[in-house]
Chain A
Amino acid sequence: METYWHSVTLDRDLCKGCTNCLKHCPTQAIRVQKGKAKILKERCIDCGECIRVCPYHAKKAVADSLEMLKEFKYNVALVAPAFYGQFSKTESVDVILSALLDLGFDDVFEVARGAQVVTEKTKELLASGELMKPAISSACPAVLRLIAIKFPNLIANIVPLKSPMEISAEQARIEAVKKSGLKPEEIGVFFISPCAAKATFVKGNYTVKKSEVDGVIPIKSICIKMSRSVNKIAEENVRELRNAGKSGVIWATSGGEAESSGAEKVIAVDEIHNVIKLFEEIEDGKHGDIDYVEALACPGGCVGGPLTAENSFSARSKIQRICKGLDDGMLPFDETIKMFWDESIVYRPIMNLDSDINVAMQKMMKIEEIYEGFPKIDCGSCGSPSCRALAEDIVRGYARETDCIFKLREKVSALAHDMIELENLNMHLPQTNKQEGN
């Protein structure tokens, strides 16, 4: 398992070394060093905030391309429900899926079907009363990564179900084997993704022993290729491909999953900073009366994902209209598919100052001392996200006090003062000698 593989990466040539990503990163995973941003891999949760805010498009999500389809004999597009909201001129799921087939896929599979199956299982678990309250949805991969590094006490609250993407991939492969007569390994299953964190999850095999997804292709790269064909597809070529019901499709927007869960007391939180705030409160013992929490890292939910093409508000509106025309009918999944995680999320205490608590305390006191001397304006010019973070970086050995431009100015000014003093002293000396000589 490649523990620290990340989808979110930096294009150094495009990076101007500004502080936009630095200030927005929810886990303080970015530093600017020598004029270029740097992602601290162990802290990054692949939420994609930096991709969203970078004005120079230097932050990117590494994912797969359609080229990869050549590696398999039969290819299935695993379609995230957010994909349905990406096209300005059509809201027909059948049209959208039919046009997608033309890009070289042999079949399509709606992840919304997987979302329906997860919804039913979640309902069952909520009714059993065995979940720790408030139960937290496991759907958003960036949120799971956030919990793993920042909220160890909430790991037990997560409903340990595989993601709709993962179980859909398993079902898609089973169905493809039946249709094609090929071996499972000859079938390529590609997730058409609104988000970077999904790519990280697939490549890192998080919560599963081995992901059933063979590749992750960004929605926006598919949209470019489909932008014309989706409007020109002949009526006779539109196939009836949609099977998923409303309770799954609505997962694309924030609040959708919560609504589908049927739970009485639910909270639906979206946008990573809002998620952090709510989780802090849950950790403090608040919201113990809440049954279920839907937490999505992107603003507006998956339609707001960094790899989507359409404005998230417009996409949301389209998804809502699509859902109005749908019932809750669902196709069953194969009974052999395991719904629960193969592996649990493990706490990674990456914020720890030291493994020895005594040493950690000494470091912490040093941090406080250094921090007190800083201007506390969090300007970011030093390359750390805040004055406090710079103090930590200094104690961890990554930075120097003079990285702070105010501290540097103080030092320069003190130095200048010393030089003047020295100069004064020198001017004085010959005169003294003269006097002594007389």
Chain B
Amino acid sequence: MAELMKLHYEVNGDDFTRAGETSSKVKKTLNQLGFNPEVVRKVAIAMYEGEINMVIHADGGEIDVAIAPEKITVVMKDVGPGIPDLDMAMTEGFSTADHSVRELGFGAGMGLPNMKKYSDGLNIETELGKGTTVTLEFNA
């Protein structure tokens, strides 16, 4: 049984400027562990999108990262409004982000599509009014 390293982070929901802090920390950790830079980049991009989503739509949440030599799993959990139409949310360019968010340069409708594009496995569990849990898997 290979070693498993676990990291836990809380994502603050009311501060845009801090979105990206967690992905940045994870990126640094993965680099130090010696993961392939290309894998690190994929994790960083997908996680960053997830973090932004948590801040825009769900008032923050929690992120758990499990690192094994051959696989990285990222679980992003929030207690936000849930995703009403998952198929639509997965469409490039579709966004429910409001005007104020777009003014800040976010909400281009690339969040979930990019998370799918840059990960090797994406699972979304969502329930309206309860929250969303996104699980991302990356092959190292």
Interface residues of A (CB under 8 A from B): 152-153, 280-281, 283-286, 347, 349, 351-355, 357-358, 360-362, 364-365
**Alpha-carbon distance between A281 and B27 when the two chains are bound, in angstroms:** 12
| Among B5, B27, B32, B35, residue most surrounded by chain A Cβ atoms (within 10 Å) | B32
A233 to B28, CA, bound (A): 56
Contacts of A347 in B (CB 8 A): 37
Stretch at the interface among B38-46, B75-83, B89-97, B131-139: B38-46
Whether B69 pairs with A358 at a CB distance below 8 angstroms is: yes
* B-to-A contact residues, CB < 8 Å: 2-3, 5, 20, 23-24, 27-29, 31-35, 37-38, 40-41, 44-45, 48-49, 67, 69, 114, 118
Name B44's contact: one of A283, A355, A358 (CB within 8 Å).
A283
Give Cα A181–Cα B114 distance, bound, in whole angstroms: 61
B-chain residues with CB within 8 Å of residue A361 when the two chains form the complex: 3, 5, 33, 67, 69
Complex CA distance for A349 and B108, rounded to whole angstroms: 34
CB of B37 within 8 A of CB of A353, answer no
The 7 A-B pairs at the shortest CB distance, nearest first, are namely: A152-B37, A285-B45, A284-B48, A153-B41, A352-B34, A357-B69, A360-B33
Taking CB atoms, residues of chain A closer than 8 Å to B69 are: 357-358, 361
Q: A352-B32, A360-B33, A361-B5 are in contact. List 5 more A-B contacts (CB 8 A).
A: A280-B20, A284-B24, A285-B44, A361-B3, A364-B32
Residues of A within 8 A of B20 (CB): 280-281, 284
* Count of CB-CB pairs between chains A and B under 8 Å: 63
5 contacts between A and B (CB under 8 A): A283-B41, A284-B44, A285-B114, A347-B37, A353-B32
Shortest distance from the beta carbon of A397 to any chain B beta carbon, whole Å:
15
In the complex, chain A residues whose CB is within 8 Å of the CB of B34: 349, 352-355, 357, 360
In the complex with contacts A358-B2, A361-B33, A285-B49 CB distance below 8 A: yes
B122 CB to nearest A CB, Å? 16
Taking a contact as CB atoms under 8 Å apart, the answer to whether A364 and B24 are in contact is no
Cβ-closest chain A residue relative to B70: A357
Min CB gap A429→B, angstroms: 50
Cβ-neighbour of A283 out of B27, B32, B67, B114 (below 8 A): B27
With CB as the reference atom, state the residue of chain B lying closest to A286. Answer: B48
Is the CB–CB distance between B35 and A153 below 8 Å?
no
